[in-house]
Amino acid sequence: MEGNQSDKSCRQDRQPARTMDAITVDYIAAYLLDRCRLSFSGHKRAILRSRLESRIAALALPDIAAYWQFLKSSREEEAMLFDLVTTNETSFFRNPAQFELLRARIIPGFELLPAIEKNSIRVLCAGCSTGEEPYSVAMTLLAALRNPANWRLEIVAGDLSKSCLEIATSGYYDREKLGKIPGGYIERYMERQGEGAVMKAAVRKMVHFEQLNLNDLMTPACAPACEKLGRFDIIFCRNVMIYFSSPCQQLLVDTLHELLLPGGYLFTGDAEPLHIFKHDFRPVENADCLIYQKMERADDARIPC
């Protein structure tokens, strides 16, 4: 027994001590988890470190400890850090099956409701990146509604990244970004400009971009923020949940449920099925993609799907 304890002690002695750099990366990861609930555990820690090293070089700081002190003293740097660590991969009409179901089944379902009961559609795009997703939603709404002028259409699009929101607000996209837009949509909803195209004013008017930190909505104490944001008929929250820890993912599902109106629809990413969470959504039937409907009561299914 004593020999085993001695061997164990020797093995522990041989374990390398964690460097101050590694400890400081832990501090920054904890800071991100606290400020925006983004989780950089496991293999993601190396991604975080690599991005931090590029930022440290750009600032000409001597090491990561100096960056940590700089971050704590600068709110502007916090915004830069959010830009640095968020993944902004997006495209127009990403996951076409979801947009086809939105166009062919969900939006026509709204039109079947009496005008006195429903003449507006509010959409939230959480994690909107550079704007391709909310503009895809806007074009789909305009294409699917028989008379869009009779509807109040509002899309709230939010993201942590200020630089992404600046691109989104401009509404301009280079030619290589336009390839996945359905035939005829560019001519109807965009104007050719240089080597790309810009969204027409009527489309940009439908979309309100704002910096959105989901952390501000994800605790009971944040009820005023949820109230200010309002409730929505449709929520796109795709490829966002995968960057949160498991407990935070459940909290996000709960928050999205609260933000949706009864009978409303939630669009998630391909890698974000809700079956591992507790929730009161039901999958939309006969859909070849992940779309859920909020069901609070049996009579809430007012929108055919």
> Order of strands, edge to edge, in the sheet holding 172-174?
172-174, 196-199, 190-193
Q: What is the DSSP letter of 232?
A: E
pLDDT at position 222 is 65
Angle at the Cα of 90 from the Cα atoms of 86 and 95, rounded to 5 degrees: 130
At 108-150, the pLDDT tens digits run: 999 888 766 678 999 999 999 999 999 999 999 999 999 999 9
- Nearest CA among 257, 286, 296 for reference residue 274: 257
**CA–CA dist 196, 164 (Å, integer):** 18
pLDDT, tens digit only, all 305 positions of the chain: 444 554 544 444 444 556 878 889 999 989 988 888 888 887 888 889 999 999 999 999 999 999 999 999 888 898 888 888 877 779 999 999 999 999 999 999 998 887 666 789 999 999 999 999 999 999 999 999 999 999 999 999 999 888 899 999 999 999 999 999 998 999 999 999 999 999 999 999 999 999 998 888 887 666 776 788 899 999 999 988 888 888 888 889 989 999 999 999 999 998 888 888 888 899 998 888 899 999 865 444 444 44
Q: What is the pTM of this model?
A: 0.82
- Nearest CA among 64, 66, 60 for reference residue 26: 64
Tell me the CATH number of domain 2-85, given options 2.130.10, 1.10.155, 1.10.3210, 1.10.3470.
1.10.155
Q: Do residues 130 and 167 touch, judged by C-beta distance below 8 A?
A: yes
**Chain centre distance of CA 168:** 14
The residues spanned by each domain of the chain are 2-85, 96-300
Tell me the CATH number of domain 96-300, given options 3.40.50.150, 1.10.40.50, 3.40.1350.10, 3.20.20.100.
3.40.50.150
pLDDT at position 182 is 94
Token duo for residue 297: 């009561």
